[in-house]
Amino acid sequence: MFSVWRRVVILTAIVALCLIGRSVPLSTTSAQSNPQALRGFDISNLDRNAQACQDFNQFANGGWIARNPIPPAYSRWGNFEKLSEQNLETLHQILEGLVKNPKLAKGSNEQKIADFYASCMDEPLIEKEGFNPLGSELKRIEAIRDQQGVENQIARMHTFRVPVVFGFGAGQDFKNSRNVIAQAVQGGLGLPDRDYYTKTDARSKQTRDEYVKHIANMFALLGDNPQKAQADAQTVLSIETRLAENSVTREQRRNPEANYHKMSLKELSALTPHFDWSRFMKEIGLGMIDTVNVAQPDFFKAVDSLLTNIPVSDWKTYFRWHLLNSAAATLSSKFVEEDFNFNGKYMQGTQEILPRWKRCVASTDRALGQALGQLYIQKTFTPEAKTRAQEMVRNLIAALRDDLSTLSWMSDQTRQRAIAKLEAFMRKIGYPDKWRDYEALQISRGPYYNNAVNAGAFELKRNLTKIGKPLDRTEWGMSPPTVNAYYNPSMNEIVFPAGILQPPFYDPKADDAFNYGGIGAVIGHEMTHGFDDQGAKFDAEGNLENWWTPEDYAKFKERTDCVVKQFDAFEVEPGLHQIGARVVGESVADLGGLTVAFAAYQKSLEGKPRPPDIAGFTPEQRFFLGWAQIWAQNIRPEAARLRVATDPHPLGRFRVNGPLSNMPQFAAAFQCKAGDPMVRPPEKRCQIW
C-alpha cells in the first residue's frame, strides 16, 4: 500500500532560481529557464536556507513544514491529510444534500447512506440514549455461566465485527488463489500491537498504566464503582497480555509461508480440543466447511488453554470491555470523550477531536463506501482523468518490463517468470467496474449504534459468503474517495482509487516531469510491491510459490537486506529508530517505484525536444521535487512513536531522503558530490531494479 497506511494486506516543493548554500547553479541551462512559475507547486514550499544535497526533504518541504503546523484535531498534517480533507468536504456536500431530500426511494443506496449519516449526526438522540443501546448485549454477557456460554459469546461478537480473542473470516488460499477459504488469525487485543504488552521499557509500562486507567474510566461511565472498575481493568489487561505473549511479531507476520497452515476441521479441533469450532461456525452463520488456514497455530493452542484456565467471570469482563471499546464512538459524548482522551490525546498527541460531521462522513464511507463512492465519482472523476491514469500505468509497466529485461543480477529463468507476473497485473483505476450490492443492509434514522452494528453484521456476512465460492477478481478493497493505493499479492493487482488521482499526486496543470515524480512514482511503488519481500513470493496467479532460482533469490534477499540496514539507521528521536525489517516492503517499493518512474519519464521524452527548465529547475529536478512534495508532513512525537511500533511505512521525511540517497539519477540532477549526505557511497548504495 502506498500511503502512510497499508493493505492486507494494507497502504497519502518548491522553487527558487538558485540553491542557497552550495554555490552552484541548480541547472546547467539556467539561462534558458522558462520564467513561468512551477505548475502544481508553491515556490514558498522551499527552505532557501537548506541544501538539496544535505537534506532534500528539508530543502524541498521546509517552507511548507514551517507554514503548516498540525491542526489541533490531527496527530499529523501533510498532503495526504489535506487531500483527505478535500475529499471529506466533497462527501459532506453530497450527504447533506441527500439528508435534505424528501424524495429518496425507500431501500435505495441514497436512502441508506443518508439515513446512516443522519443517525450519526443526531446528537440529541445519541445523548438521550447514553449507553442504552448496549443494554441487551450487556445483559447477555452478564448471563454467561459456563465455557459454552463463553464460546457462544465469542461467536456472537464476531457476528457484528467485534473480533474478540481471535480473528476469523474469508481469504484467498495462498497456494490456490482461485479458492476462497476460511482464515483464523491471532487477535483479541485492545492496544495496537502485541509489543505494547510485552516490552518492559518505561514508555511501554506507562502506556499499559494509562490503558488500565482508560478501561477503568470507561467502566465507571457504565456505572461501576471505582474499586470494581479498577479491578476489572486489571483483569482485561491480564487476559490481553496472555494473548499478546502467545502472538507472533509483525515481522513474523510478514512471512507468508510462516502464516500458512491449512488444516481440516478435524485437525483444527485436535489442535484446540476445548473449543467447539462446529458450533462457532454455526453461530456466526457459516455452513459446515472442511478447510481452514490457521495462520498462527501456537496462538490457537494457547487460546485453547486460556479458555479452560481463565475463570468465566474474567472472560465476561473481557467481553464487556471489548463491546464498550468497539461501540464508544457511537455512544453519548462522555464515552466519545474518554475514548478520544486515550486513543487520540495519549496515544497520538492529538489536541482535540474532529468535528462531528467529519467523523460521520468518514463513518458513512467505511460502512457504505461503494454506495457513497458512486456519487463521489459522478462529482469528481472524469473519463479523461481515468484515461490519463491508464496511460501512465501502461508507461510504467513498459518501463519495469524494460528494467526486468536487462537486470544484470537476474537469470533468464527468473526474468521470464518476473515479466510474466508483470504482464498479468490486474489494473484497477478510479472505481470498480461492478459496484457492491447493499440491498440486504438495513439502515434507518434510529440509533446510530444500531446502524453501525447492522453495517458490521452485513460486512461479516458478505465476507463469509465468499468461502467455498469462486473468487471475484472485480472486488475492491478501498472505496473510491480513499487517498491511498495498494497492491494485493494474492490477486496480483494494482489499485488506484479516484481519491488519490488528484493534486498533489497528479496535477493536470503540472508538466510530465512533476506528475511522473508524483503519481508516476505512486504507480511504480504499487507495481514493485509485486516484487518486494512479500510480493516476490507470489506468482502471476497470486499463488504462494517459489518462482526464483535459489541464486537469484539469494541476490534479491541481499539487496532487500541492504534496505533493512539503511532504515534501521534512521533515528526518529533519540534512542528510537525505524525498524528496518518492519518497513522493508514499503521502502523497497519506494526505491523501486522511483527508479521505474524516472525511467518511464525518460522514455516518454524519446523523439521529443527536451522540455525547458521551469523557474530554474530542470525536468529531472522537477521529477524529484514531485516525489518530495507528497511527503511534506508534520507529525506529533506520540504519533511518530505509534507509527514506528505499528506501521509498515517509514515516516515521511525518511521516504524522501531514504530512496533518493540511493539514486545516482538524483545526485546527477542536483549536482551532488561524493560525501554529501544525500549521496551514499557505491558500496553502501541499495539498488534492486
pLDDT of 382 over the 60 cut: yes
pLDDT tens-place string over residues 557-615: 999 999 999 999 999 999 999 999 999 999 999 999 999 999 999 999 999 999 999 98
**pLDDT tier for residue 10 given thresholds of 50, 70 and 90:** very low
The Cβ-side half-sphere exposure at 332, using a 13 Å CA radius, reads: 14
Phi, psi for 502 (deg, rounded to 5): -145, 165
CATH number, domain 147-310: 1.10.1380.10
pLDDT tens-place string over residues 331-366: 999 999 999 999 999 999 999 999 999 999 999 999
pLDDT of 79 over the 50 cut: yes
Q: What is the pLDDT of residue 1?
A: 62
Q: Tell me which of 470 and 123 has the higher pLDDT.
A: 123
pLDDT tens-place string over residues 288-312: 898 999 999 999 999 999 999 999 9
Whole-angstrom distance, CA of residue 579 vs CA of residue 645: 8
Provide the whole-model pTM. 0.92
Averaged pLDDT, 247-271: 97
Q: One fold for both 30-83+370-432+476-684 and 147-310?
A: no
Q: What is the pLDDT of residue 509?
A: 81
pLDDT > 70: what percent of the chain? 95
Averaged pLDDT, 485-490: 96
Chain mean pLDDT for the chain: 93
Whole-angstrom distance, CA of residue 326 vs CA of residue 328: 6
Whole-angstrom distance, CA of residue 554 vs CA of residue 158: 42
Averaged pLDDT, 400-427: 95
CATH number, domain 30-83+370-432+476-684: 3.40.390.10
Which amino acid is present at 516?
Answer: Y
The partner residues of 486 in beta bridges, in order of sequence, read 495
Q: What is the pLDDT of residue 43?
A: 86
pLDDT tens-place string over residues 235-245: 999 999 999 99
**Hey, which residues are catalytic here?**
526, 590
- C-alpha triplet 73, 76, 82: angle, nearest 5°: 80
pLDDT tens-place string over residues 150-209: 999 999 999 999 999 999 999 999 999 999 999 999 999 999 999 999 999 999 999 999
Least confident residue range of 23-32, 297-306, 520-529: 23-32
What does the domain layout of the chain look like in residue ranges?
Answer: 30-83+370-432+476-684, 147-310
| Residue matched to cell numbers 482485561 | 236
Q: What is the pLDDT of residue 34?
A: 41
Query: Contact, 70 vs 635, CB < 8 A?
Result: yes
Q: What is the pLDDT of residue 385?
A: 86
pLDDT > 90: what percent of the chain? 90
pLDDT of 540 over the 90 cut: yes
Phi, psi for 536 (deg, rounded to 5): -65, -15
Averaged pLDDT, 37-58: 90
Query: Contact, 634 vs 68, CB < 8 A?
Result: yes
Q: What pairing do the DSSP bridges indicate for beta strands 426-430 and 291-294?
A: unpaired
Residues in the chain: 689
**pLDDT tier for residue 84 given thresholds of 50, 70 and 90:** very high
Query: Contact, 2 vs 484, CB < 8 A?
Result: yes
